[in-house]
Amino acid sequence: MLHAFALLACATSLSAAALSVAHAQPETPSQAQSEATRGSLSTRTVTTFRADQTVEDVETLRIIILNEGSLSSAGQQRLSFIDGVQKLDIVEAYTEKPDGRRVSVPDSGIITRDAEARGNVYTRDQKQVVVIFPDLAVGDTVVLTWRLTRSGDTFPGHYSQVHIFPRQLSLGTSEVQIIAPKELYLNISNQGAGFETDAKEVDGARVYTVTHHPGSKVADEAGAVSALDREPMLFVSTFRDYEALGNAYWKEAAPKADVTPALRALARQIVQNIEGKREQAEAISTWVKRNVRYVAVYLGPGRVVPNSAEDVLQSRYGDCKDHVTLMMALLSAAGIESEQVLIQAGNAYTLPSTPVIAAFNHVIIYLPQFGLYDDPTVRYSAFGVLDTTTYDKPVVRISARGAVRAHTPAMDPDDHVTINRTKFSVAADGTVTGETKQITKGAFATNARNTTLRLQQLGAETAAEKQLASLGTAGKGRFEISALDNAAEYTLAGVFKLNQRMKTPFSGSYPIPVGMPIHVRPGQAFFGRRQESRTMPFVCFAGRQVEELELSFADDPPPQKPFANRRLERKLFTYTSEYKLEGRTLRLKREFVSRVPSQVCDATIEEQLAKDLATIGESLKTTMIFEKTPTPETPGTAPQKEESVPGGSKAISGSVPPSEP
């Protein structure tokens, strides 16, 4: 069983005090965690609500070691707690032998240390307890019981917890018991199968006992939605609904967005000489994105409650809550309304029926005047362009007007576009030179700017050489790096010369180079990796990929076998390839448009999708085939006809080179 803690640490917070590794993401268990749980694993948790509003969890973990691969990870358990807000005590820890003997963990085998920083996230009061089990062998059982006492909560009087029972782990029967005063409102629900619940009154308190009986193990799948959307879970919360949760957050966060004289002066400076309110909002968004670094330093309530906008302005760094709070204050100073938005950034696309803080790990902003969401932590995004993980998500929007549930928009294919426009020149001796322009919009533009940062670090020439080599066309070149901005579109250009010449005189087949693009080829960006016999919903995106290639020959080449245009039309996407040979110039355009209506695709489309994408993959390998002497099948002489393609699509067929599907 995993516990999802209640933190809003901006897409890094949905952590789990998990069996063998504390703070492992539930949807991507660590290697150590996987090894530790190959044996039979069971847990028992007793949560007791005290009259003084403290909460005590006593949990017992048992792991049977079935093979040597489990010894290292199962033999070192890690638990985390927040010093000053929580207290963690080891109740008992021992190695249990098959004959019933117990070998206790000595005091020297229990180590408390500061938790390690993760990226740009620093938790000054986060502690970690490491328990090292002695005399451990295959067939033994690791037994660990600990008590975690919460002396306070971020939202006074409230508690929420998520117990996750992943089907990917070798779980045994687990039990969660909750003891609470009768007058305390508790919202308890479960997701998935295998649960039994018993509720009764004992000595004036309500006692809920929830038992989980695991079913068959289920392997994880490539690109699947989060465990939060699909695995068995138990939710416990004192919040009646998400509006109550949002209002509790706003009560703590609202004062942090107060407009001070310094903030008012900065807002005037940013919007001076800018007329429209939308244009002013865009200028403020860009200022925050470009002037406030993402660095999170957490202490106590700072995990959920932002720092003040004034403090963020002075430090010029902060996490997502800090970025949003500063942007909200600046917008307010400019007379523009905004709302903070609690959201889950990642592969989770639903909210549990019981409101829990762990359902959210990120905060963005909403501008009701323009009906627009924005994320000021995405440094190189255009105004209103979100990170791909925050499209099509249920959210809670909060402001002085109260809290409301809402939904971010799904991706529109016209908003997210990448075009590889490459022109090649083929000299008389077969030397190939060219120039590429990668024209991008939306999420592709954000990605292109982030890629530009890496190109700058590598150097324009080294980066070009590496990119050409990765595409199978080794050569030399140089990226002409554009200035980084937050405009709607971004173009990255480059010039190159391939090492290998085309063999002259032209005869036989030649692969068609693609230039020096930085994005994957049409059809390779939106549906992730394929998964045979898929059973879980998976993440998919909408957008448009275009490849426009033009090859010009210095001399008249021999006649080429004509290319076949292709159109593959499906409910969720369209793929087209068009070829034109005009004199010495071959023009080729390939386009893939994903029109998925949401960012979750059903597993039932996997089989047909895999076949279609394989067909497109073969189309991308189309080669030029030169004839030694002219043949009757010269361009324009072979009659073309429209024919049906399985699935109801249409294709224009003519003479097709061997490598064309």
Tell me what pLDDT residue 319 has.
92
- What is the mean pLDDT of the segment spanning 595-608? 98
Distance CA 640, CA 264 (A): 67
- What is the mean pLDDT of the segment spanning 486-510? 94
Question: pLDDT tens across 359-398, in order?
Answer: 999 999 999 999 999 999 999 999 999 999 999 999 999 9
User: If you compute the radius of gyration of the chain from its CA atoms, what whole number of angstroms results?
Assistant: 29
Lowest pLDDT segment from 187-201, 288-302, 402-416, 454-468: 288-302
Domains and CATH numbers, the chain: 2-238 (2.60.40.3140), 246-407 (3.10.620.30), 417-653 (2.60.120.1130)
The candidate with the shortest Cα–Cα distance to 348, out of 128, 537, 160, 475, is: 537
The candidate with the shortest Cα–Cα distance to 362, out of 8, 23, 6, is: 8
Tell me what pLDDT residue 7 has.
44
- What is the mean pLDDT of the segment spanning 127-145? 95
Phi and psi angles of residue 223, each rounded to the nearest 5 degrees, phi first: 75, 5
Distance CA 241, CA 575 (A): 44
**37-68 burial by CB neighbour count: b if 16+ within 10 A, else e?**
bbbebbbbbbbbbeeebebebbbbbbbbbeee
pTM equals 0.87
Within 214-316, strands assigned E span: 233-237, 293-294, 296-298
Q: Is the pLDDT of residue 633 over 70?
A: no
- What is the mean pLDDT of the segment spanning 241-251? 96
Tell me what pLDDT residue 154 has.
66
* CB of 391 closer than 8 Å to CB of 411: yes
Tell me what pLDDT residue 116 has.
76
Distance CA 426, CA 562 (A): 19
Task: Tell how far CA 648 is from the center of its chain.
Answer: 34
Q: Is the pLDDT of residue 81 over 60?
A: yes
Q: Is the pLDDT of residue 341 over 50?
A: yes
Q: Is the pLDDT of residue 8 over 60?
A: no
Give CA torsion, residues 381, 383, 387, 393, to 10 deg. 180
Pairing of β 538-539 and β 508-511: unpaired
Question: pLDDT tens across 281-321, in order?
Answer: 999 999 999 999 998 765 444 467 899 999 999 999 999 99
Tell me what pLDDT residue 10 has.
65
Q: Is the pLDDT of residue 133 over 80?
A: yes
Question: pLDDT tens across 440-459, in order?
Answer: 999 999 999 999 999 999 99
